[in-house]
Amino acid sequence: MDLNLYPVFLEIIKHGSVTRAAEQLGLTQAATSNALSRLRVQMGDPLFVRSSKGMLPTHFALSIQPRIERSMAMLQALSKEEDQDLPELGEINRHFRLIMSDLEETLFLPNLVEALAHKAPGISIEIQPFQRQILQDQLERGSVDFLLAHLTAATKNVVSRPLAQQSFACVARKGHPVIGKKLKLADFVSQGHILVTPDKGSRRGVVDDKLKALGKSRTVVCSLPHFLPACLLASRSDHLLTIPRQLGEQMASALDLTLHDLPFEMPGFMIGLHWHHTRDSDPEHIVLRQFILDHPKTT
């Protein structure tokens, strides 16, 4: 049984007209007539007979009308998320698994854990590393609940919501022998650089692409997958490190680093909250993800 034909049946029986039913459904008259033909075949009954007063329902059509109306009402009720009985955050007793890189761990995790300790002591969370090659499988199997990350490519059946916009800055150790208060382009390209490539090893990144467009290049002396060790390396060497500004602000005071504006324009990026479409109607999942989206503090 094609349930999409039920609304056609109900509109025709309501208005006694295929034309009026088509108008109400936003369909063409041809599409509505075709739907009625298919429904007649499925039901094994003419359902409606043309007359001077319009389309008159058969006895069988009248007998099934109440059941179809009840079925449609039930289906419509299932589709209304606003009618779903959602629990309070503090009532949830559940273990959630989240994927983050060390960037998102540093920016979001401390505040999230602190907030949940006060408002939802029954919730525990487990952080798993970002691994692009198995990400789709993790989400589809339900082995993780959320992903906090900047996704550069669309992921099938994944719902995404923006969480925090990020921009770039450069950090250098305090007392750097070349870098002054204002970072100049000539000084930037003259120094060795540390490059963070979270999910794929490389000696080039978005900064190198920007420099190439400017007719410049830099020397990457060390590339690694994690931001925090990169900040430590920058604090103990004369190498420069370009990182998200919010992370740089946190690390500057902790590791005796100085924070500098880049000497060229760099587009930022968005960190988002992502989950698989199959979790859309999970009441506890809805409550936690809304809490995360409403509290994206990173300081």
C-alpha 283/C-alpha 291 separation (Å) is 13
Segments of the chain assigned to CATH 1.10.10.10:
3-79
- pLDDT given for residue 6 in this prediction: 84
Q: Phi/psi class of residue 277: alpha, beta or left (left: φ > 0; alpha: ψ in -120 to 50)?
A: alpha
pLDDT at position 299? 43
Residue 82's pLDDT is: 52
Spatial separation of the C-alpha atoms in residues 95 and 86, rounded to whole Å? 17
* pLDDT at residue number 83: 54
Match domain 168-267 to its CATH number in 3.40.190.10, 3.20.20.70, 3.30.1490.20, 3.30.565.10.
3.40.190.10
CATH number of 3-79: 1.10.10.10
Find out whether 284 and 292 touch, Cβ atoms under 8 Å.
no
The token pair at 28 is 């063409």
Q: Where in the chain is the domain with CATH 3.40.190.10?
A: 89-166+270-294, 168-267
Other C-beta atoms closer than 10 Å to the C-beta of 222 total 17
In angstroms, the CA 40 to CA 28 distance is: 19
**What is the token pair recorded at 135?**
């990400």
**Fold held by 89-166+270-294:** D-Maltodextrin-Binding Protein; domain 2 (3.40.190)
Nearest CA-CA partner of 58 in 12, 6, 7: 12
Q: Which residues contact 254 (CB under 8 A, 6 or more apart)?
A: none
Report pTM. 0.68
Mean pLDDT by runs of 10 across the 299 residues of the chain is: 78 90 84 88 88 87 86 66 76 95 92 94 94 82 90 78 92 94 95 88 86 95 94 96 95 93 93 89 92 73
Per-residue pLDDT, 298: 47
